[in-house]
Structure 1
């Protein structure tokens, strides 16, 4: 694929290591935990590093960044870089961009796709950068109370960058936005919560809700398996970040890969609950559609006048990282020349659209939902579906178990390669000639014939990661039977028997 052209004249910043750590947490000097817990954290981090190690990334064209010094007192000791497109309107908008762990400003600029959007639509991008002097993994310290509070540490430094950009470039203070990946995504939540008077909207990519953790141990629990709070409790954490503020609240977009095991998708739900509650909305989408070349599930939560206050984008088939789609198309951007930039959909294009920086555009989902979805047959490995045609539809998208499965040109589809004795839920959406999809139909559930028996031997940690077990209170429980398997760690090993599909029992001595 063709790399985006070089921009500007500034020299590129240094590159990141080819094999970074996988998690958006610590190694803050002087703040790391001690004892067995810290050793377990280190073991888990090393396991994740080994799993993600691979060949060095390909070279990628560098975006031209200009470093800015003297932007304020900078209590968080951050670096500031600005990307200014060649053509810039009067009073431009400002987007603050926050990189992930082990990355730097240049890496994020080169691969995220934000400079392409800035060139196309004319806005400034400020790339904030943390260093190893703040955090050994170069993570923003979203989990430290000295950095995630208003007018303190890194949060205060980022706020000063926004104010300096408005002053120095004549930017519009009413159009200031923030986005970031992983630890940068979690720090995006910090900025939206602590400075709702500054940021009109934000986009959290593979990140976490505000107020989930104030230390390293809590941060790991938030990332995986996640934290359970009610929407009202999540919302209160934001209100407590700046008590004098009563609204209006920033608009929020959430982006998350459905295969992310580093920051599990449960955090996308927590973010949705947090911000819909602040906007006085239920956690049920107003409308749902599919966007992009990979049928990303796009959920919109709208207020009374129809404006979208919160959106959630669930990207199918990817793990932890920024969704990008390298190329020269109007909905393409970014590069895969560094870890954690994943070929799928150009999230920066849609984030820019959510911020309102592209101007008006066609609304997705103009076709009605299909009706008459019916299961017409099943074997040990297949399920066959039919539904009624939709006028104007160019095709259909079939969903299985809540995720896009396949495109269909007619009003029937056979799902093949299934496991005997397994149960699945289906829905269908109509697709127009531009590739936009309408709302989903009602659902039907079907089971393949036959039975299934499978055995799995692994650590408790691996069983949870694979979805065969859950964790609660530091212990592990087999899904289905809820048998207690002992402590959630990488040292206890069990064999689980699956029969029927999705039901697991401990079978250390009896599994064939």
Structure 2
């Protein structure tokens, strides 16, 4: 939480990937650096081993990936606690995540679209990709064809919401061997359908050697952005030097010469606008909380006793072993 909050601040919810912690993902991505500079709030839900031994959000579990259920509901409850405690502007709540956190970002955007102004999915998967472990493995490999209308219907069926819909930012490495980049294509198709816009982008360009495309609404507002990071593997794209410098290289936090964190925050209007709104003193409901707290708010997902721990992929190394062990334990593979 930054020392100086803007009045009625924006809130960014950040979901880590498998094997990662909330604090580790924060250090790698640089979100707290930007929040300290610009006065917006951060919430880092953190997975617990009792829920998933590899610390993956259970985006593939039917008991966790729908409105009013499991982990999706827990994350929403954390958000509403922050909204009430810090007078968050309800029109400026955003969500982002990497890998399993990116897939869970898709879940949150589909399950609670009325809650979010925008979302950024990094090396993730579209909503509705899987409802069990074998399907998760197939989806990550990019197996099977997809139909844009059906993908969009998965979002439309996830709630009673009829619009307006969150803006979407998609980031994926072209050399990702853990989550196939065909999933980025499917995410794009899903949200083009939801927003009911044509597949031809309004902007198509190269930024730092990476493909960037943008789709606008009738007023010129960006509804969908798509970044494909050339020759990058599975992870969050960083620029750790130069004018965009933000974050630190570590496993699955990858130098790419472009800062996904900074560009996502800018696309949400969180940089200069928030800096101007920041007051001289921290704005909090609770005056006893006026001392500086450098770390972001971390909300830990409590174990769900009715659900057994479910292993899932943690990265390129060991992916097949984890899945195969799970399938064997379930009697689905010899």
Q: TM-score, normalised by structure 1?
A: 0.52
C-alpha separation in 2, matches of 1:216 and 1:255? 24
* Unpaired runs of at least 5, structure 2: 274-315, 317-334
C-alpha separation in 2, matches of 1:170 and 1:306? 30
Q: What CA deviation, in whole Å up to 9, does each residue of 1:88-144 have, x standing for no partner?
A: 111100000000000011101111111122122220110110011101111000000
**Does 1:352 pair with 2:268?**
no
Query: In structure 2, do the counterparts of structure 1 residues 227 and 303 end up closer, same or farther at CA, with 3 Å as the change threshold?
Result: farther
The one of 250, 253, 256 aligned to 2:169? 253
RMSD value, Cα: 1.4
Alignment correspondent of 2:296: none
Alignment correspondent of 1:341: 253
Query: In structure 2, do the counterparts of structure 1 residues 166 and 330 end up closer, same or farther at CA, with 3 Å as the change threshold?
Result: farther
**Does 1:126 pair with 2:126?**
no
| TM-superposed deviation, 1:227 | 3.8
C-alpha separation in 2, matches of 1:168 and 1:179? 21
Summarize the alignment of residues 450-489 of structure 1 with structure 2, pairs less than 5 Å apart: none
Bigger Rg, structure 1 or 2: 1
Alignment correspondent of 1:278: 194
Structure 2 residue matching 1:151: 3-state secondary structure: coil
C-alpha separation in 2, matches of 1:245 and 1:207? 23
Alignment correspondent of 1:307: 221
Alignment correspondent of 2:5: 88
| TM-superposed deviation, 1:158 | 0.6
Alignment correspondent of 1:265: 181
| TM-superposed deviation, 1:295 | 1.9
Q: What CA deviation, in whole Å up to 9, does each residue of 1:423-456 have, x standing for no partner?
A: xxxxxxxxxxxxxxxxxxxxxxxxxxxxxxxxxx
**Does 1:207 pair with 2:124?**
yes
C-alpha separation in 1, matches of 2:143 and 2:185? 10
Alignment correspondent of 1:295: 209
| TM-superposed deviation, 1:284 | 2.2
| TM-superposed deviation, 1:359 | 4.4
Paired positions, count: 273
The one of 155, 159, 167 aligned to 2:84? 167
Alignment correspondent of 1:446: none
Q: TM-score, normalised by structure 2?
A: 0.79
C-alpha separation in 2, matches of 1:133 and 1:157? 15
| TM-superposed deviation, 1:162 | 0.9
Select the structure with the greater relative contact order (CA < 8 A; seq sep ≥ 6).
Answer: 2
